[in-house]
Amino acid sequence: MKIKLPNPLKWSWKKRIIVLVVLVVLGGGGYWYKSKQASSEQQITTVKVAKGNLVNQLSLSGQVEKSNLISVLTKSSGVVSKVYVTDGQEVKAGQKLAEVTLDSEGKNNQAQAWSSYLGAKKNLESAKASKYSSQASMLGSWDDYKTLAEGDTYKDTSSDNRNLPEFVISQDQWLAAEANYKLQDTSIANTQASVNQAWYNYQLYQATITAPVDGTVKGLNIAEGLTVSYSEGNSGSAASQGVATIKTSGEPVALFNVTEVDISKIVTGQAVTITFDSLPNKKFDGKIVSVDRVGTVTSGVTQYPVLVKIATDDPEVLTNMAATATVVLDSRENVLIVPAAAVISRGDRKMVRVMKDGKPTPVQVETGLETDTEVEITSGLNEGDEIISGSTTIGGSVAGTSANGSRTSIPHAGGGFVGGGGGNEMFRPRD
């Protein structure tokens, strides 16, 4: 018996289109099936649990606030006639550094500064005289009040007579006189500060430039014959000009800003390690000496200033240098450590997937110190256990990379995790 097959060449164009559509659908379905099958396969990365030291630390950015360099300033105007020191020379406070022959502007400024100083002294003496006057007024008011209070009408402290206007007025006059007398101490302190400021300003206009503190001359930038020009500051007065710096003994101080997220972790006395981009081969020990708990807000961001004293007085550490401080918050030695990515949290429980007989098995664990990248395991794992530290989807079977670089092929085993089995196995205690 002969079977006659249809000849496609004799099909109508409608039949040809229908057959073509059927073939496209069948082909697309096969492609989708293969893609779906491949998408259910993953590549996992494994590591072996090992012991080590774990450090939780915080990195801060800031700059050197003070590196024991004191500026030598002058407001004199004229020509440098004599320089008494050289760069690197040791000097004492008050020692002559240079002489300036003042020009007319310099002499005029000096005279005005002297006048301001004398005016400040006059105000100080006036404040002292006011105190004597206030004291006399207070004692007089006290005497009147005391005489009235000891009289027959008012000597009984529980009597309603002490509410009479005569007594109340006398008492208030004495209290007001006493308060005014005490305020004179504040007035004297203010005028004394003005005298000190005026004297310091007058010294800056002097023809003789002296060292403000003991130390070593650094960065001397004046020479004989150099013109020291007068310039005006923002207030219209003569601006101070730096002629040198003096390096003093002591420990530099750096300022760092801490965010509101981390400030609760910072306390005074914490040890820090300080590095500088400009000194790549050096590290410095330091200690937190001050923590500002109020902070400042800039563009909606709150920063809390923290001062760190650097333990080494290195001449290469200069004021305003950018610095990085590393604060050790906590540490553990010789503990089991796993990558943070290997620990999966479910509520208050945590688990790690352990490779057993070539299959990943969920094991509940307890953790200790945690950092951004590593976690301390206090129970649930043993040193040398091979665990899954991560996984990615690939085509093929589940391939694992162990700590020694070997690769294995593991079939995908359904469930929420690779090799996880049913939900009841998720936090199965370790055997």
Instruction: Tell me how far apart the alpha carbons of residues 72 and 228 are, in angstroms, rounded to a whole number.
Output: 14
pLDDT of residue 372: 80
Nearest C-alpha neighbor of 418 from the set 45, 47, 48, 49: 45
Residue-level pLDDT at 14: 61
Per-residue model confidence as pLDDT tens for the chain (431 residues): 555 555 555 556 666 666 566 666 666 655 555 555 544 455 778 888 888 888 888 889 999 987 777 888 899 999 999 999 998 899 999 999 999 999 998 899 899 999 999 999 999 999 999 999 999 999 999 999 999 988 888 888 888 888 899 989 999 999 999 999 989 988 999 999 999 999 999 999 999 999 988 888 988 888 999 988 766 655 556 677 888 888 887 788 999 999 998 899 899 999 999 999 899 889 999 999 999 988 888 888 899 999 999 988 787 888 889 999 999 888 888 989 999 888 988 888 898 999 888 888 888 898 888 888 888 888 888 888 888 887 654 444 433 333 333 334 444 433 344 444 334 444 444 44
Q: What are phi and psi of 160, to 5 degrees?
A: -70, -10
- What is the enclosing helix (H) or strand (E) of 325? strand 322-339
The residues of the chain that CATH labels 2.40.420.20 are: 43-54+333-425
The SS3 call for residue 281 is strand
By residue count, the chain amounts to 431
Task: Residue 229: name the closest of 71, 80, 72 by CA.
Answer: 80
DSSP characters for 328-362?
EEEEEEEEEEEEGGG-EEETTEEEEEEEETTEEEE
Question: CATH: 2.40.30.170, 3.30.450.190, 3.10.110.10, 3.30.420.40. Which one for 59-67+250-332?
Answer: 2.40.30.170
- Single-letter amino acid, residue 92: K
For the domain made up of 69-247, give the CATH fold.
Helix Hairpins (1.10.287)
- Decide: 76 and 231 in contact? Cβ < 8 Å: no
The pLDDT value given to residue 300 = 86
Q: Parallel, antiparallel, or unpaired: how do β-strands 42-48 and 407-410 relate?
A: unpaired
Chain region(s) in the chain for CATH 1.10.287: 69-247
Q: What is the pLDDT of residue 370?
A: 85
Q: What is the pLDDT of residue 55?
A: 83
Helix (H, G, I), strand (E, B), or coil: what is residue 260?
coil
Nearest to 68 by CA among 289, 325, 322, 313: 313
CB 359 within 8 A of CB 392: no
If phi > 0 it is left, if psi is from -120 to 50 it is alpha, else beta; for residue 40 that is alpha
Where along the chain do the CATH 2.40.30.170 domains lie? 59-67+250-332
Among 310, 95, 64, smallest CA distance to 209 is for 95
Domain 43-54+333-425 class, CATH top level: mainly beta
Residues 6+ apart with CB under 8 A from 391: 42, 43, 44, 45, 398, 418
Find, among 256, 287, 255, the residue nearest to 271 by Cα: 287
Of the candidates 267, 317, 238, 309, the one whose C-alpha atom is nearest the C-alpha of residue 58 is 267
Q: Which residues pair with 306 in a beta bridge?
A: 256, 291
- What's the pLDDT at 24? 61
- pLDDT at res. 428: 45
For 50-80, give the DSSP string: EEEEEEEEEEEEEEEEE-SEEEEEE---EEE
